[in-house]
Chain A
Amino acid sequence: MSEFDETARTLLFDAPNSYVGRSVTRPNARRLTQGRGQYVDDIVLPRMLNVAYVRSPHAHAKIVKIGTKKAAAMPGVMRIVTGAEIAMVCKPYVGVLTHLQGMRSPPQYTLAVDVARWQGEPVVAVVAQSRAEAEDAVEMVEIVYEELPAALDAERALDPSEPKIHPEFDSNLCFQRTVDTGGVDAAMSSAHLVVEDTIRFGRHTGVTMEPRAIVADYNPAEESMTVYHCGQSPHMMQGIIASRLSLDEHRVRIVVRDVGGSFGIKIHTYGDEIAACALSLMLGRPVKFAADRYESFLSDIHARDHRVKARLAVDRDGNMTALEIDDLTGVGPYSMFPRSSGVECNQILNLTGGPYKHKEYRAKGTVVFQNKNMMCQYRAVGHPIAVAVAEHMVDQAAAKLRIDPAEMRRRNLIPDDAYPCKSPSGMRFEALSHQRCLEKLLALMKYDELRGEQAELRKKGVYRGIGLSSFIEVTNPSPMFYGVGGARIAAQDGCTIKLDASGAIVAATGVTEQGQGTETIMAQIAATALGVEMSCVKVLTGDTDKVPYGGGTWASRAAGIGGEAVLQAGLALKHNILEAGAVILKTNASDLDIADGKVVRKGTEQGITLAELARICYYRGNELPVDFQPELVVTRHYRVKDYAFVFSNGAQGCSLEVDPDTGFVKLLKMWCVDDCGRVINPKLVEEQARGGIVQGIGGALYEHCLYDERGQLLNATMADYLVPMAAEMPDIECAHVETPTKTSMLGAKGAGEAGTGGAPAAIMNAVNDALRPLGAKVTSQPITPEMVLRALGKVN
């Protein structure tokens, strides 16, 4: 286990000029307020063409005939290409991770070949001079389909009578896994109380404000491909595009500029995007694809869609002894490449009940194929389900035993002094703070006062509910997440940092920015490591030609992993600067430091500015000794070595009111206490929590991809698919507990997903807390007014 010198940490981070722990504003935000962002659809290249896709109108259909004559005659049309034609230049892909044993998925082509397997699957590409012309011609492509029976319901997917989606497989099973500590049955049979429930989570999707978009620019003269992509993982895309199109990887460049929201949506391999690259290769010209909103709903990955059966055993005092879950999820017709669609289920098995002390655990997860849009990792992968299931069961047991939910958690949460320890599912926890987070949350909520107010209002027929949730979050993943399963997705990340000739600092990092503040915190870390003003630090992200190899931004890894690489690179550069300073000032490096942009003799203001040092090193090498060569550019990499994941933890609270006549749920306030280790920028952490919580609220109360019995998505517009809006959202109060991880010097864990992971649990518990005196209970999300009225027996 790595140990970082605590004294060195304190000296660095608690120094008066440290930027770590300060809520500085984001230097890159101002241009976005002026409309000066550059999103992919803003990019126009010389001779650029546009592609639009004909998509399958059926959930499952044989493609009998494709007629392109009329479409080809339309104005502006340059080329019409079928799936089989694209397959001549673009290899299919298989979304399987080998460490998820037994997982299977057939090769997937960018455009459907012979059979379309979900409504919205791209079938034919139409390339035209303008997007409008391409869309006009899409309407004129004539495809004869033979509709096939569709397998839609995950619950029935494995029935022998269900249509098989892939003829090469004996069933619609994608992946199955079990976890078993061995003593669950014994614990259940000897328990004082066993509570049991089935909890359902609807399908929802990310609805990034900027729809997916790509501009692919193949240059036949140098056999190179430059791709402007709105995504989270440039190097991953570089490898995928190179390998699918048989290009040299080093001749493929991925450029990611501003990204209009991502949340895990833009980290997967989409056929329409890869096909756009293939078309650029075929045509030797830049090709743009920009999804419209309808296409986003039909083809951006969906998420959740789980049915979990759960049982919890407790003793007389409410101490949890055993937990059992059985998770079933439908993921669409293929497992998504390259991260696979087995990870959400796998996470649920790994994480459910993770904050608690029970020893016995049994979990079964089943992932099935179905003829709906594909499902894959979206913000807080698996966490909202794992947390909501466990927290619901804890509350059910507490209610039966008449123990207050806060007290129930005090008794069962792993004590803060019990670390390091291991969960029954095998997760290793380095150092968490559940008890401290819970107590801080209860104080922040004024929990006892809230309970008093709730009791008073109930006498007046007002049904307020208070809900709590305690949770763990997977952050800073090691290669055990994807790399071990054969996916070419880096868990390590790098930073190249330099002192430029003007004395400014330029840091290039492999992690990416989607608005969460990555570039800001990297500048804070670099400035702190070097002892310079943040204003003289420039951060580069999102260009595979310019940044060191890295994984990008996902699984709350940017701050913890990318940040440590920046810190180590910054410290190494400082070392080199001081060596150069020592030569110039004719002293020892150990007697020098950097303060206010100057190399100074420690404790004095005497020395030379970084600008002067850079001038001498770059331009006046003749003044340096012949045996000294300054190195003012350094690169450092970092990966998590000691743990598979560095878990963060936290607690959330929710206060709401349920109207038993209409079924409406009004959120009154939410609270969040998060322990993401060392907090680099408190404001940015809080905004991650708030934004994340609101996405969790979406899943808990509003968002649902509704399919009919023929596999048609019924609400594929922003008007019909409900997302949280300003008027319905509560204020959210945040606080921090800091338990820095010892797996890095920086000590930061991730903060991007905790909000989304914890909110649905707190909300469902609060709704059930409000409904309890009425003898009603909801166990299915989104909790719509109709669901509440059903629970109350007012609607059948």
Chain B
Amino acid sequence: MNAPLETVEIEVTVNGERMKRSVPARVNLADFLRNELELTGTHLGCEHGVCGACTVRVDGEIVRSCLMFAAQADGCKVDTVEGLSDSREIEELQSAFVLTNALQCGFCTPGVLMAAQALLRDETNPTRERIREYLSGNYCRCTGYQAIVDAIEAVAKARAGR
């Protein structure tokens, strides 16, 4: 019974802030971000890696923060929607999402933005089909996805035009 309550010392850089923390070994990264660091923009929809609402970036790659222990982030660079908002890295996407109404309740949105930014970093001119396929790990129950695809496509085109 003691194993889950063991703590681990980690050093992690979250949204550019370096910090040392002592975390219970069993705490996942999502709970660590939400409860310990109060970064509540990362949402928990399923807690088993299906819905995509908890998507964050670890060392540049998007991951499901509910499927990763906080202890595994030791030595890593973690970026959440709060960090990407403050740095304005996803400002274009955020504006496009507002313009096309690519969000309703907003619960899935931070995770969708994380995925969209990762797609547009790797692919400059994705088709609508490709955008839809790339989002296959992100649930949205409100929009029906079309406006999300519209927003990402618009940003891709705007970036390609520059």
Q: Among A34, A206, A717, which residue has its beta carbon within 8 angstroms of that of B85?
A: A34
Q: Within 8 Å of chain A (Cβ to Cβ): is B147?
A: yes
What separation, in Å, do the CA atoms of A6 and B46 have in the docked complex?
A: 51
Interface mask (B104-121 → A, CB under 8 Å = 1, otherwise 0): 111111100100000000
Q: Within 8 Å of chain B (Cβ to Cβ): is A210?
A: yes
Q: Among B85, B101, B141, which residue has its beta carbon within 8 angstroms of that of A695?
A: B141
Are A29 and B141 within 8 A (Cβ)?
Answer: no
Are B105 and A210 within 8 A (Cβ)?
Answer: yes
What separation, in Å, do the CA atoms of A37 and B111 have in the docked complex?
A: 13
Q: Within 8 Å of chain B (Cβ to Cβ): is A208?
A: yes
Tell me, rounded to whole Å, the shortest Cβ–Cβ distance linking A650 to chain B: 16
Are B136 and A210 within 8 A (Cβ)?
Answer: no
What separation, in Å, do the CA atoms of A110 and B132 have in the docked complex?
A: 42
Stretch at the interface among B6-14, B68-76, B91-99, B154-162: B91-99
Are B132 and A726 within 8 A (Cβ)?
Answer: yes
Residues of B close to A719: CB separation below 8 A: 48, 50
Known: A261-B105, A515-B142, A729-B132. A293 touches B41 (CB 8 A): no
Are B47 and A293 within 8 A (Cβ)?
Answer: yes
Residues of B close to A517: CB separation below 8 A: 101, 104
Tell me, rounded to whole Å, the shortest Cβ–Cβ distance linking B55 to chain A: 12
Q: Among B27, B93, B110, which residue has its beta carbon within 8 angstroms of that of A35?
A: B110
Q: Within 8 Å of chain B (Cβ to Cβ): is A704?
A: no
Q: Within 8 Å of chain B (Cβ to Cβ): is A693?
A: yes
Q: Within 8 Å of chain A (Cβ to Cβ): is B29?
A: no
Question: Which A residue sits closest to B38, measured CB to CB?
Answer: A44
Are B45 and A209 within 8 A (Cβ)?
Answer: yes
Are A514 and B146 within 8 A (Cβ)?
Answer: no
Q: Within 8 Å of chain B (Cβ to Cβ): is A36?
A: yes
Question: Which A residue sits closest to B101, measured CB to CB?
Answer: A687
Tell me, rounded to whole Å, the shortest Cβ–Cβ distance linking A9 to chain B: 27
Which of A35, A683, A694 has the most B CB atoms < 10 Å from its CB? A35
Q: Within 8 Å of chain A (Cβ to Cβ): is B42?
A: yes
Interface mask (A89-132 → B, CB under 8 Å = 1, otherwise 0): 00000000000000000000000000000000000000000001
Tell me, rounded to whole Å, the shortest Cβ–Cβ distance linking A166 to chain B: 34
Are B48 and A33 within 8 A (Cβ)?
Answer: no
Tell me, rounded to whole Å, the shortest Cβ–Cβ distance linking B152 to chain A: 10
Are B43 and A260 within 8 A (Cβ)?
Answer: yes
Residues of B close to A638: CB separation below 8 A: none
Residues of B close to A209: CB separation below 8 A: 43, 45, 51, 53, 105, 107-108, 139-142
Q: Within 8 Å of chain B (Cβ to Cβ): is A711?
A: no
What separation, in Å, do the CA atoms of A262 and B104 have in the docked complex?
A: 11
Are A25 and B81 within 8 A (Cβ)?
Answer: no
Residues of A close to B41: CB separation below 8 A: 34-37
Are A33 and B97 within 8 A (Cβ)?
Answer: yes
Tell me, rounded to whole Å, the shortest Cβ–Cβ distance linking B8 to chain A: 15
Tell me, rounded to whole Å, the shortest Cβ–Cβ distance linking A608 to chain B: 34
Are B98 and A25 within 8 A (Cβ)?
Answer: yes
Are A293 and B48 within 8 A (Cβ)?
Answer: yes
Interface mask (A659-694 → B, CB under 8 Å = 1, otherwise 0): 000000000000000000000000110010011111
Question: Which B residue sits closest to A39, measured CB to CB?
Answer: B107
Are A37 and B146 within 8 A (Cβ)?
Answer: no
Q: Within 8 Å of chain A (Cβ to Cβ): is B138?
A: yes
Q: Within 8 Å of chain B (Cβ to Cβ): is A32?
A: yes
Which of A206, A515, A692 has the most B CB atoms < 10 Å from its CB? A515
What separation, in Å, do the CA atoms of A260 and B108 have in the docked complex?
A: 8
Tell me, rounded to whole Å, the shortest Cβ–Cβ distance linking B138 to chain A: 7
Question: Which A residue sits closest to B149, measured CB to CB?
Answer: A726
Residues of B close to A38: CB separation below 8 A: 40
Known: A210-B45, A691-B143, A723-B141. A26 touches B98 (CB 8 A): yes
Known: A694-B145, A695-B141. A718 touches B98 (CB 8 A): no
Q: Within 8 Å of chain A (Cβ to Cβ): is B65?
A: no
Residues 22-50 of B contacting A (Cβ, < 8 Å): 26-27, 34, 39-48, 50
What separation, in Å, do the CA atoms of A695 and B98 have in the docked complex?
A: 22
Are A718 and B48 within 8 A (Cβ)?
Answer: yes
Are B107 and A260 within 8 A (Cβ)?
Answer: yes
Are B50 and A718 within 8 A (Cβ)?
Answer: yes
Residues of A close to B132: CB separation below 8 A: 726-727, 729
Tell me, rounded to whole Å, the shortest Cβ–Cβ distance linking A208 to chain B: 6
Question: Which B residue sits closest to A209, measured CB to CB?
Answer: B107
Residues of A close to B26: CB separation below 8 A: 132
Q: Within 8 Å of chain A (Cβ to Cβ): is B144?
A: yes
Interface mask (A246-259 → B, CB under 8 Å = 1, otherwise 0): 00000000000011
Are B107 and A33 within 8 A (Cβ)?
Answer: no
Q: Among B48, B141, B144, B147, which residue has its beta carbon within 8 angstroms of that of A261?
A: B141
Tell me, rounded to whole Å, the shortest Cβ–Cβ distance linking A169 to chain B: 36
Are B98 and A33 within 8 A (Cβ)?
Answer: yes
Are A211 and B45 within 8 A (Cβ)?
Answer: yes
Tell me, rounded to whole Å, the shortest Cβ–Cβ distance linking B103 to chain A: 6
Are B101 and A26 within 8 A (Cβ)?
Answer: yes
Residues 199-221 of A contacting B (Cβ, < 8 Å): 206-211
Q: Within 8 Å of chain B (Cβ to Cβ): is A576?
A: no
Q: Within 8 Å of chain B (Cβ to Cβ): is A162?
A: no
Question: Which A residue sits closest to B39, measured CB to CB?
Answer: A35
Residues of A close to B147: CB separation below 8 A: 687, 690
Q: Within 8 Å of chain B (Cβ to Cβ): is A263?
A: yes
Interface mask (A22-63 → B, CB under 8 Å = 1, otherwise 0): 000110011011111111011000000000000000000000
Are A39 and B48 within 8 A (Cβ)?
Answer: no
Known: A209-B141, A261-B142, A687-B101. A718 touches B45 (CB 8 A): yes
Are B141 and A208 within 8 A (Cβ)?
Answer: yes
Interface mask (A51-86 → B, CB under 8 Å = 1, otherwise 0): 000000000000000000000000100000000000
Are A690 and B133 within 8 A (Cβ)?
Answer: no
Residues of B close to A259: CB separation below 8 A: 105
Are A516 and B104 within 8 A (Cβ)?
Answer: yes
Tell me, rounded to whole Å, the shortest Cβ–Cβ distance linking B100 to chain A: 8
Shortest beta-carbon contacts, A-B, top 3: A35-B41, A32-B106, A260-B107
Extra 10 A-B pairs, beta carbons < 8 Å, given A39-B107, A691-B142, A732-B144: A30-B94, A35-B85, A209-B108, A209-B139, A210-B43, A687-B104, A717-B50, A718-B51, A726-B149, A727-B129
A-B contact pairs, 16 of them (CB 8 A): A29-B97, A29-B101, A32-B106, A35-B40, A35-B110, A260-B106, A261-B107, A261-B141, A262-B105, A293-B45, A514-B105, A718-B48, A723-B141, A725-B135, A731-B128, A732-B146
